[in-house]
Structure 1
Amino acid sequence: MFDLYLLRYFLAVVESGSFTRAAERVFVTQPTLSAGIKKLEAQVGQPLFERSSRRVFLTDAGTRFLPRAKAILHECNMAMQAVDDAPVRPVLRIGLLVTLPNRVMGRLLGAFHDANPSVTLEITDGTEQELLNRLDDRSLDYAISIDRGEGTYPALLLKEEAYVFIVARDHGLSGRRHISAADLREERMIVRSRCEVLSETSRYFTDHNVRPRLVYRTGNEGRALAMVAAGVGATVVPEGLVDDRVSSMTLTGFPYRRRLALLRPRYALSPGLEAVARCFEDSVKTHLGEGHGTAVP
């Protein structure tokens, strides 16, 4: 018999890819989480993770164990809801891709709340994979994320946007429409550590034998934009993150784009949420669909 907290530890490691980040997510110390994973592995009788110096990966046994662990926690959550007889406000659980523009997300969710004050929104930030995992275990109803066109989830396509190179307004490259890798040999670069095309960006410079100086690394999109605007460095961002503090341009030979979509649930929502869900979809289309205006982070 597994303790439920051990399953939560296990899923936290899977979603975050790190024991350190997983411990932060479940509000325990890393030694406590590691001890819990060892206890779970002892109960299972096989190792669930392969550990390296930088990241952890599921073993074959862990891969087989994952869907069952998600199902167990989901059923427990449903059981708790079933025995709660107290009247509750409708709850819509939304996942937001971490690289979406902050102010646009604020306007979207604020407008939806104003139009539906009786609805409680539970909002979760995550990477593309983290949001997919949460849709899989039904801890999210919707996710605003990237659509890879694989049909894993019903998707409402919102917009497609290119990745561009940005610098401060007073930078020497500001005002140009296009730049090449060669133009950036002496450039100071800011690394957006949660960027979906981080590997492609690194490979682009390597293939062109360019080694820009890395001066700052952050997973905070607002901080990255502020540092570019201040002249600390430059970076690659999706067009939706560009605002009037920076100057953007096309990076020659860097063709990557992303498709933003509202990923819908594969299961039927409860009758009480159907009308709420329709309102939410309409609000998302209004604020994020093509032609909604320039996005501001």
Structure 2
Amino acid sequence: MEPYLLRYFLAVVETGSFTRAAEACLITQPSLSSGIKRLEEQLGVTLFIRNNKRVFLTTAGTRFLPRAKTILHECNVALAELAQTEQARVLRIGVLQTLSGVWVAGLLKGFRDASLSDETGGRFDLFEGTEQEILNRFDERGIDYALSIRRVEDDSSVPLYNEPYVLALPADHALAGAAQVRGEDLADQPMIVRSRCEVLSETSRYFTDRNVRPPLAYRTANDERALRMVAAGIGATVVPNSHTAQGVVTTTLHGFTHHRTVALFRPRHALPDHLRAMGQAFERYVTGLAPPQ
């Protein structure tokens, strides 16, 4: 049984869709479907029930799920032990895919540059995913730290900054100069949907509650592309306040008060000796950063 087949299986469970699972695994949907079929043939059971809208686990699939997680966990432990044997300083970082790419890149570059002088640095192995995918990687010991959204106040994470969700408009839009925009003002304005947005359902409910149904111009899981489309005048969208781009202005959406707390999530396992200094230095550096402007 190949580990990548288990990753395909877990990706479908996490996303509830063969299409989104293929995107998460960076493969085509036919390749993923073929991999799932091969896994089902090896196990001699059907793992999923498919319909037009979602994918559901069968009874056999539900029973297999914790085993699949355990197997991948053991694979990751084995790789970590081998890496320790080779004394490879590789810090594995999970990054929430809706965080600002400019901010994340600046953070990693800043730490790399700062650590060159005291030799606490090494290299990074980055994993980008949704909140659930990052949590699963923690469970499998596939990552050491994560930059994600803090939902619960506990010792497992350190808050870095809090930001509201705002309305992004083309710089030349008629509403671009407004201090605040009402949902009703967008009734006939094309909108761009960020399909991985954490407040996607709340955004939809916001317009529904006001009996407003803006036309959908574009849907994408790529936040950078969404902002480029806003700048091009294709439509408006709701984004975290730290998401900026040339040709895009942001304003407050009246009555939309949702916000998020971005945090550094600490390791859930003891780091090997050769990584401990790098991990501690990384934690000190990240928690000392100023919030994005």
Mapped to 1, the partners of 2:164 and 2:77 lie a distance apart of 41
Aligned partner of 1:199 in structure 2 is 201
Matched-pair contact (CA < 8 Å) for 1:48–1:59: yes
Q: Do the aligned partners of residues 4 and 246 (structure 1) sit closer, same or farther apart at CA in structure 2, a change above 3 Å counting? A: closer
**How does the TM-score come out when normalised to structure 2?**
0.87
Mapped to 2, the partners of 1:165 and 1:28 lie a distance apart of 32
SS in 2 for 1:276: helix
Q: Do the aligned partners of residues 49 and 171 (structure 1) sit closer, same or farther apart at CA in structure 2, a change above 3 Å counting? A: same
Mapped to 1, the partners of 2:140 and 2:211 lie a distance apart of 43
Mapped to 1, the partners of 2:28 and 2:98 lie a distance apart of 27
Q: Do the aligned partners of residues 164 and 8 (structure 1) sit closer, same or farther apart at CA in structure 2, a change above 3 Å counting? A: closer
Matched-pair contact (CA < 8 Å) for 2:76–2:141: no
* Offset of residue 60 of structure 1: 4.8
Matched-pair contact (CA < 8 Å) for 1:192–1:219: yes
**Aligned residue identity for 2:218:** Y
Q: Deviations over 1:238-271 (max 9, x none)?
A: 1111356322222122121111111222221112
Matched-pair contact (CA < 8 Å) for 2:231–2:246: no
* Offset of residue 137 of structure 1: 1.0
**How does the TM-score come out when normalised to structure 1?**
0.86
Mapped to 1, the partners of 2:280 and 2:56 lie a distance apart of 38
Mapped to 2, the partners of 1:107 and 1:199 lie a distance apart of 30
Identity, % of aligned positions: 54
Aligned partner of 1:145 in structure 2 is 148
Alignment of 1:124-163 (within 5 A): 124-149=127-152, 154-163=156-165
Alignment of 1:117-266 (within 5 A): 118-149=121-152, 154-243=156-245, 245-266=247-268
SS in 2 for 1:241: coil
Aligned partner of 1:95 in structure 2 is 94
* Offset of residue 170 of structure 1: 1.9
* Offset of residue 210 of structure 1: 0.8
Alignment of 1:108-119 (within 5 A): 108-116=107-115, 118-119=121-122
Any unmatched runs of 5+ in structure 1?
Answer: none
Mapped to 2, the partners of 1:3 and 1:276 lie a distance apart of 32
Aligned partner of 2:66 in structure 1 is 67
* Offset of residue 92 of structure 1: 0.6
